[in-house]
Homo-oligomer: A and B are copies of this chain.
Amino acid sequence: MIAEPTQPTVAAAQIEFWFDFGSNYSHISAMRIERAAAERGVRVIWKPFLLGPIFKTFGWNTSPFVAHRALGDYMWKDMIRQCAKYGVPWRQPSIFPRLSVLPLRVALVGVDQPWIGEYCRRIMRRNFVEDRDIHTPEAVGEILDALGLPAADLIARAQAEPNKLKLRESTDTAQASGVFGAPTFFARGEMFWGNDRLDDALEFAVGPSAS
């Protein structure tokens, strides 16, 4: 009997994408990460978390883009240029940052489901392209309906205590890992901050090329 060749245990390259639906630079990454990762054979692990409680640990009661006018004024100009550069649709929202707890809770319910990417892009599009609120059951339900998903059931599971706790735990994990902004990426244990580092993080996820 001929022995089967031993199958080497090779973990597929992966990247963790830590994001908040209220974060504008997370919008750019959410729109482009699945394609950019697929081109390099990297799997995306979606990591919804709440940025606000982390800002609070710094003594910040809101986004630095709101607290400091010079930063905010610049950021809105930068967003126009960056979205144009990456071909990502964009309209400056009339409310910033928007409440994001419910859509994040639903994202946690769906984090391992095939619809997670499309769901996240649609929430981002609603906030940062359509300039509409994303925190109500109606808003989230509309998007889940459009994806052919059981909206009422998913929202009920999202709002159940164990899942609420999950979002708090996710936020605690982010903070304990050194996350201080969004988007943040982890690849092979290294942290990369900001949409500007997404490509570097993906290259790092793939690892040194065999030569």
B200–A74 touching, CB < 8 Å: no
Give residues of chain A (174-197) contacting chain B, Cβ–Cβ below 8 Å: 178-180, 190-193, 196-197
A71: nearest residue on chain B (CB-CB)? Answer: B180
Give residues of chain A (152-211) contacting chain B, Cβ–Cβ below 8 Å: 178-180, 190-193, 196-197, 200
A81–B180 touching, CB < 8 Å: no
Q: How large is the interface on A (under 10, 10 to 19, 20 to 34, 35 or more residues)?
A: 20 to 34
A25 to chain B, nearest CB (A): 12
A-B contact pairs, 19 of them (CB 8 A): A58-B68, A68-B180, A70-B178, A70-B179, A70-B180, A71-B180, A73-B178, A74-B178, A74-B180, A74-B191, A74-B193, A77-B190, A77-B191, A78-B192, A78-B193, A78-B197, A81-B200, A85-B200, A196-B196
A interface list, Cβ under 8 A from B: 58, 68, 70-71, 73-74, 77-78, 81, 85, 178-180, 190-193, 196-197, 200
